């Protein structure tokens, strides 16, 4: 049977997962009466809630007696580690681009990886049914992007399809047709069959699956030879050591699931059960003459955070897993399948340093852990600083902002204050397209401020470019915070009296503790307030005076917003049902003592 392996790459929200849904339906993977819902491939709860793909996944369909392995990849640069290894399994890529927005920075990031691996591209311009879309301009922009990324002559001669994933049609021209068969025919025509080289077995493990029944499962593409059930094999590790092992069971992908087989020939993607202690990037090779494939290199992390046990007064009230042993085991387990993540021990046995690709990357890990029942404390995200030629260097990012013209000056002002430099300014219809180069530090806390200043209209995206010279201090949060004075329950009476001091992150009737951040001060500097005071009751009553507290509703921050909000001496307490911000040192006198000693050291 002929095989085609194709990865689908696109920026967040350009309709990648919807396209996969249409391919699955068009090739009759499901029974005609089967309920499938939307976004079939985004199986993880977090993916469905946020509407983004985080983990790459495989599905397989059969069209005109050709097996097409479809690989859905994440669109976020923060999940770059996920994308790079997945592309190793593909022989061609579908680059999906929105007919209005055109190619975005993260499309560029993934496309660059695909072109370097010499994959054959097919361009699909999606959402041509949207008002003010501009498919012809977008096609030119895509060609320019290919050219800028040093695509070969053959890659520049890419086929283009237009259509609407939502309405279920794709065609080689802008004329609507009935379904997506022109695109499926295009995949068979333009994507090459897997290259099969002569020789003994070689298969690189490019992703992991886990089953509580079968244990860890290795997934990858057989690049040479064939692999059989029950066959003895060699596992060549990244450091060159060779372990002997045996294949217990073999599966290939079929539809959304897997099918057990006895042999897989080269060119197909399969899942291998029965191997012990393997890592992503290892090679499954011939038992007697093992030959390793080149090790997968993943981009370095650019940000780190401290993860520690929850040591607040509310410790253990909400979560199941609260000890440092639980925390350590969970983080180590995550590094096995999350390649761009690194974990290191610190001097304290209760805290760990976790390195990741960005705030979203680390935020997804924290969110996943809290849903599993963990309680933890996380510190402020910091960029990783390196010494290059004896000089201090920090990571820089390419930041792209699309915003209505009336807000463009506010955006430019915001970004330049954070040491960003503007490189491109173009007008697209009534939208201003701005591109900046900015230190990664400048992005922390930028999104919230930008949405506030542009009435929620700004669309921003960024990707890591390189390490460059340190840019100096960047102004952080201007205002101080309101801190709870004592443990207890907040009352409407005291919050009402404190409203002129700032705005609150808590409502009346919430449990708070000493040193917890309950609001933002209107002025610089922190303020300790008594939020738990009840009204002194007398036997004189005036009708209606007790009910006359008009308190503004609390401001609710998401986990990522909290990570961007906190300063160096603050941290976030994360439990399954609560996200609270607090000072790292809860006692006010102790905090002042530490600040004094730090100032004395600086002098």
What is 43-62 written as a DSSP string?
-SHHHHHHT---S-EEEEEE
Task: Assess contact for 72 and 41: CB atoms under 8 A.
Answer: yes
479 is in an annotated binding site: no
Task: Assess contact for 434 and 493: CB atoms under 8 A.
Answer: no
C-alpha 126/C-alpha 480 separation (Å) is 46
128 is in an annotated binding site: yes
227: helix, coil or strand? strand
Sorted by sequence, the CB contacts under 8 Å of residue 439 that are 6+ apart come out as 383, 394, 395, 396, 397, 418, 419, 420, 471, 474
175 is in an annotated binding site: no
User: Residue 284 corresponds to which tokens in the numbers above?
Assistant: 């499954």
Strands (E), 145-277: 160-164, 169-171, 202-211, 215-224, 226-228, 232-236, 242-246, 249-254, 257-261, 263-265, 269-273
18 is in an annotated binding site: yes
Which residues are registered as beta bridge partners of 402?
433, 459
C-alpha 575/C-alpha 581 separation (Å) is 12
Q: Is 181 exposed, middle or buried (CB count within 10 Å of its CB: 0-12, 13-18, 19+)? A: middle
Measured over all CA atoms, what is the biggest interatomic distance in the chain, rounded to whole angstroms?
Answer: 97
How far is residue 56 from each of residues 43, 71, 208, 338, measured CA to CA in Å?
A: 11, 7, 10, 11
The CA dihedral of 123, 128, 133, 136, to the nearest 10 degrees, is 40
168 is in an annotated binding site: no
185 is in an annotated binding site: no
17 is in an annotated binding site: yes
How far is residue 534 from each of residues 366, 489, 491, 495, 496, measured CA to CA in Å?
A: 36, 10, 6, 10, 11
- Among 486, 477, 419, 490, which residue's Cα sits nearest to residue 445? 477
- Which residues sit in the known binding site? 13-18, 126-129
Q: Residues comprising the binding site for GTP?
A: 13-18, 126-129
């Amino acid at each position: 049977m002929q095989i085609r392996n194709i990865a689908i790459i696109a920026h967040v929200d350009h309709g990648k997962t919807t396209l996969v849904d249409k391919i699955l339906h068009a090739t009759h993977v499901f029974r005609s009466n089967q309920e499938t819902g939307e976004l079939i491939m985004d199986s993880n709860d977090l993916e469905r809630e946020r509407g983004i793909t985080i983990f790459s996944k495989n599905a397989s369909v059969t069209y005109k007696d050709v097996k097409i392995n479809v690989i859905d990849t994440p669109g976020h640069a923060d999940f770059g580690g996920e994308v790079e290894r997945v592309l190793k399994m593909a022989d061609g890529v579908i680059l999906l681009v929105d007919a209005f927005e055109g190619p975005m920075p993260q499309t560029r990031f993934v496309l660059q990886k695909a072109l370097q691996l010499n994959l054959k591209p097919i361009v699909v311009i999606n959402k041509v049914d949207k008002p003010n879309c501009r498919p012809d301009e977008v096609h030119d922009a895509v060609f320019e992007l290919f050219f800028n990324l040093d695509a070969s002559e053959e890659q520049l001669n890419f086929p283009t399809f237009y259509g609407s994933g939502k309405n279920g049609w794709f065609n080689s021209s802008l004329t609507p047709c009935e379904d997506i068969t022109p695109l499926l025919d295009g995949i068979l025509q333009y994507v090459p069959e897997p290259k099969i080289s002569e020789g003994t077995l070689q298969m690189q493990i490019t992703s992991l699956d886990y089953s509580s029944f079968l244990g860890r499962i290795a997934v990858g593409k057989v690049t040479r030879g064939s692999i059989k059930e029950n066959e003895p094999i060699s596992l060549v590790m990244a450091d060159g050591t060779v372990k002997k092992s045996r294949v217990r069971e073999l599966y290939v992908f079929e539809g959304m699931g897997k099918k057990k087989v006895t042999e897989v020939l080269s060119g197909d993607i399969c899942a291998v059960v029965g191997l012990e202690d393997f890592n992503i990037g290892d090679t499954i090779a011939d038992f007697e003459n093992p030959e390793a494939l080149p090790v997968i290199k993943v981009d370095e992390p650019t940000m780190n955070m401290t993860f520690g046990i929850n040591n607040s007064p509310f410790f253990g009230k909400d979560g199941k897993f609260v000890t440092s042993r639980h925390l350590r085991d969970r983080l180590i387990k995550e590094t096995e399948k999350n390649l761009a993540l690194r974990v290191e021990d610190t001097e304290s046995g209760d805290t760990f340093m976790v390195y990741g690709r960005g705030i979203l990357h680390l935020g997804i890990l924290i969110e996943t852990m809290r849903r599993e029942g963990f309680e933890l404390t996380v510190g402020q995200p910091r960029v990783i600083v390196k010494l290059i030629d004896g000089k201090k260097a920090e990571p820089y990012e390419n930041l792209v902002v699309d915003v209505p013209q009336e807000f463009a000056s506010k955006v430019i002002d915001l970004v330049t204050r954070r040491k960003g430099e503007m490189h491109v300014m173009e007008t697209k219809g009534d939208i201003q397209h701005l591109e900046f180069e900015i230190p990664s530090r400048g992005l922390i806390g930028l999104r919230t401020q930008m949405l506030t200043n542009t009435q929620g209209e700004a669309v921003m995206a960024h990707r890591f470019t390189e390490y460059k010279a340190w840019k100096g201090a960047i102004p952080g949060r201007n205002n101080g915070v309101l801190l709870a004075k004592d443990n207890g329950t907040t009352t409407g009476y005291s919050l009402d009296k404190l409203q002129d001091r700032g705005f609150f992150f808590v409502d009346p009737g919430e449990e708070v503790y000493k040193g917890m951040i309950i609001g933002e001060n209107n002025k610089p500097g922190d303020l300790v307030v008594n939020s738990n005071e009840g009204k002194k009751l007398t036997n004189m009553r005036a009708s209606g005076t007790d009910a006359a507290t008009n308190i503004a509703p609390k401001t609710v921050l998401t986990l990522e917003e909290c990570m961007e909000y906190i300063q160096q001496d603050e941290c976030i307490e994360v439990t399954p049902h609560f996200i609270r911000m607090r000072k790292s040192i809860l006692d006010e006198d102790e905090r002042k003592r530490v600040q004094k000693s730090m100032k004395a050291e600086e002098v």
